[in-house]
Amino acid sequence: MKGVVLAFCALLFVAMVAVALWPATSGPSRGPPVAGGELDPTALAGRRGALVDQVVFTREADLGRVTGLIEAGSHQLFTQGISSTTVFHRLRDSLHTAYDLSYGTSSELTLNPAGPELAGGQLNPFHAPAIREALNRLVDRRHIAEEIFGGLAVPRYLPISTAFPDYARLADVARELELRYAHDPEAARQAIHREMEGLGARFTDGRWWYRDAPVRLNVLIRTEDERRRIGDYIANLMEDLGFAVERRYRTAEEASRLWIASDPRAGHWHIYTGGWIIVMILRDQADVFSYYYTPRGRPEPLWQAYRPAPEFDELSDRLARRDYRSREERQAMMARALELAMEDSARIWLVDQLNASARAANVEVAVDLAGGLSGSALWPYTLRYTDRVGGQMVFGTPSLLVEPWNPVAGSNWASDQMIMRATQDPVLMPDPFTGLYLPQRIESAEVTVEEGVPVGRTLDWLSVETAKEIPVPDEAWLDWDAGTGRFVTAGERHPEGISARTRVRVTYEESLFEQRWHDGSTLSLADFLLPWILTFERADEQSRLFDIAHLPTFEAFKRHFRGWRIVSRDPLVIDIYSDQIYPDAETIVAQRAPVPIPWHTLTLGILAEHSGELAFSSNKADRLGGDWMSLVAGPSLSVLERQLRRARERGTRPYPDALGASLDTQEVAARYRALTDWYTARGHFWVGNGPFQLHSVHPVEGSLVLRRFADFPDPSDKWLHFSRPEIPELDLDGPLVVAIGEDADFRLAVTFDGEPYAAEGIDKVQFLLFDGRGELARRGEAEALDDGLWGVELSPEAVAALGVGANSLELAVTSRRVALPAFASHVFATVSPGGREGTP
């Protein structure tokens, strides 16, 4: 049982490494982003939007060159987090570089579940869940964390991140599963042999055979980072088990064509060395099961091959919809889902990484605690030089334009999404330290929830109230009729009436429809309506836009969606009714509030898919033998240009019966004219409304240029108030030896930058007490004694219950100022009365 305690202690790595590294970042040029007080106020006066004039992204896959390139002045930032200890030490020791730490990157093994036979008749072992499950015991996660990542990682077994609040809430469940699936290669070998024989394979002379041919595995290995060594490690393990292994080394772009874009039944790969970046603090990870293990996760062919067990599928769906009535019910559902996820093991989670985002010492930017620089929603709004406004910066990125860009089902790669975010202006912005949403284009929100539904509010820009029942108005739009091209109301679908668990009333800024898209056209109501229509069109078999890969996601949406209606057009006020909840009301608003997409660029994509030349999703493109739509590069551009020319000539209005009142002839003509001028000048169709506009794209050269959007409405210093994340620093003190029959007092000092952490800034301090067998003996909450000081007192009865032996007290601190939990531990011995005598 010792492994239980060790598993928890491994989690302390995140907090301990953070504490160890923060002193090196305490200076103004070396730490996380500092508020922009050093900038000359006169330089900021009247400036709108971005604080730099131009950003150039260039492909640079060799992370070993990061420090040298920044020191030489050719690059100012790098998008990929540094997890190599060698590179990190260079970065840390250079006078010309700085870095920011983040905790949201993970590495895993993505397994191909198709089969049991693939298209060529070959056996795919990973079709069998039991073989996938056995891999958890085969891999040595501690070896990967310590040897491959040099200690800049912590073992991870579960689909929930070890660095976020849900792991702390489910610590006892997590530790039991970590012990159950601890490294045990012999148990793994026996399980794999048993299942392989059940699939009809035979083991002869140390090799697996199926129908007189060796069982061959294609291991798809990413080459840009530590995953190359992970891939070789896994390939070696599989060879040792008797499989013939082909190692396919690929870059992100090359690998994407296989594991994302191809049909898994084709057998191009069996194992892929995957990696994920959580781009913001996830306060609630209830939907990870549906995303990672079911066809509802994504429209790509791989996800559509997932076949979770019925119980797991239903539970994943319920958690994604937040179909629970209490926090206790949620806790039980999450615990069971974790257990079922390990039995399914479509993914083998390996480690959570500590990443350093590299930047020049004279550069500052708001970095997300989870996603780092590449995941930060605020980077386009806060990027600046410390001593001046304006200028150009160069970003190095290991991959660029990995997959086609389109606003419906385009690239989901972190490197692509980072650039896209700079061109878009969200209506709500996630706090990079807490994950709570802040208003950007929303004036206020009112959240109404059913009585008894577990929802809380932290910030004061929204309100929360309860109601015994929340009826959906008959006039609310609930559905869409693709045949007639019109909205279907709740009253039509449910003449008897329906109710919802939540209602969100969103009031947008009064100046919303004064904001301009990058091509100069003005936002309109149609930019909100057309994306909503498209969601339903793509799920309707009567529509030419029907995409079977969209169905699982849409069906999950329909199970909780209860309608929406426009309350006011000026200012824009929208009510959204849904049965889906989140623990934080701020997240409910963020998930419900409609977001605009320029209707005229979206229309070109619709027309191109109608013609059969392009498809929004890779799945539909693959099935139709066409091109996956890209608005920025490749053969899609000529198709879209032709559609634009026709639409302009004909004055095409999408869905005129539904959008007629929102689209007059003048706006239609102006939009197509603006887009024509934009394409002529820029050579692409990517039009946004963010602080940067996509100036030019150079796929062959591996570069891309963003330029400041001068017509952005907000002052440049709007988001510069974010400073260093106040991650608690812990020092737990207490007796080393306690005699049975005595009590024991422990004191936890909680500080930040050497100063006591205000008690009002702490949400909770939990303790877990483990006995000498590694079993959980007691749990509870510490008592606040003063600012920065907390106490745990164990009664004589609690001490006696431990028995004689070594024990461990573990504390988990959750702050209101950052969502990252901090951990501390103290080992002490309990001895018989008088057992202290003679001890040194």
CA distances 712 to 156, 380, 528, 560, 676, Å, are 42, 12, 19, 35, 21
Over the chain, what is the mean pLDDT? Answer: 90
**213-214/207-210 β-pairing:** antiparallel
616-643, pLDDT tens digit by residue?
999 899 888 889 999 999 999 999 999 9
Bridge partner list, 793: 745
Q: Take residue 150 and report the two structure tokens written for it.
A: 């040099």
CATH of domain 105-283+348-352: 3.10.105.10
Of 749, 807, 815, nearest in space to 778 by CA = 807
3-state secondary structure of 167: helix
449-496, pLDDT tens digit by residue?
999 889 999 999 999 999 999 999 999 999 999 999 999 999 999 999
Give the list of residues 6+ apart from residue 130 with CB closer than 8 angstroms, or none. 191, 194, 195
Segment 149-154 mean pLDDT: 88
Q: Give one DSSP letter per residue of 97-144, joined into a string.
A: EEEEEEEEEEEEEEE----SB-TTS-B-GGGSHHHHHHHHHHS-HHHI
Burial call 745-775: b when 16+ CB within 10 Å, e when fewer: ebebbbbbeeeebeeebbeebbbbbbbbebe
User: Can you say how many angstroms the Cα of residue 615 is from the centroid of all Cα atoms in its chain?
Assistant: 25
Is residue 737 within 8 Å of 836, Cβ to Cβ? Answer: yes
Q: State percent of the chain over pLDDT 70.
A: 94
Long-range contacts of 147-151 (CB under 8 A, 24+ apart): 148/226, 148/229, 148/230, 148/233, 149/83, 149/85, 149/226, 149/351, 149/353, 150/84, 150/85, 150/86, 151/13, 151/17, 151/85
In this model, does residue 21 exceed pLDDT 60?
no
563-576, pLDDT tens digit by residue?
999 999 989 999 99
In this model, does residue 28 exceed pLDDT 80?
no
pTM listed for this prediction: 0.80
**Cα separation, 28 vs 724, whole angstroms:** 10
Query: What is residue 74's predicted lDDT score, i.e. its pLDDT?
Result: 95
- Name the band, by pLDDT with cuts 50, 70 and 90, for residue 554: very high
Cis upstream peptide for 796 (omega within 30°): no
- Name the band, by pLDDT with cuts 50, 70 and 90, for residue 38: low
743-781, pLDDT tens digit by residue?
999 999 999 989 999 999 998 898 989 888 878 888 899
The CATH fold of domain 726-831? Immunoglobulin-like (2.60.40)
Query: What is residue 245's predicted lDDT score, i.e. its pLDDT?
Result: 97
Is residue 252 within 8 Å of 416, Cβ to Cβ? Answer: no
- At residue 269, what is the residue type? W
Around Cβ 500, how many Cβ atoms within 10 Å? 24
Q: Give one DSSP letter per residue of 529-561, joined into a string.
A: HHHHHHHHHTT-TTSTT--GGGHHHHHHHHHHE
In this model, does residue 124 exceed pLDDT 50?
yes
Q: Give one DSSP letter per residue of 458-516, joined into a string.
A: -STTEEEEEES--BPPTTSEEEEETTTTEEEEHHHH-TT--B-SEEEEEEE-TTGGG-B
**Cα separation, 66 vs 99, whole angstroms:** 12
Name the residue ranges covered by the structural domains of the chain.
Answer: 31-96+361-422+693-725, 105-283+348-352, 425-689, 726-831
In this model, does residue 524 exceed pLDDT 70?
yes
**Burial label, 672 (beta-carbon count in 10 A; 0-12, 13-18, 19+):** buried
**Cα separation, 74 vs 54, whole angstroms:** 14
**Cα separation, 396 vs 62, whole angstroms:** 10
- At residue 537, what is the residue type? E
Query: What is residue 784's predicted lDDT score, i.e. its pLDDT?
Result: 95
- Name the band, by pLDDT with cuts 50, 70 and 90, for residue 835: low
Q: Take residue 389 and report the two structure tokens written for it.
A: 């406004």
**Cα separation, 406 vs 410, whole angstroms:** 4
Show the beta-strand stretches assigned E in 613-728.
614-615, 627-628, 692-698, 703-708
- At residue 341, what is the residue type? A
**Cα separation, 280 vs 257, whole angstroms:** 27
Is residue 127 within 8 Å of 113, Cβ to Cβ? Answer: yes
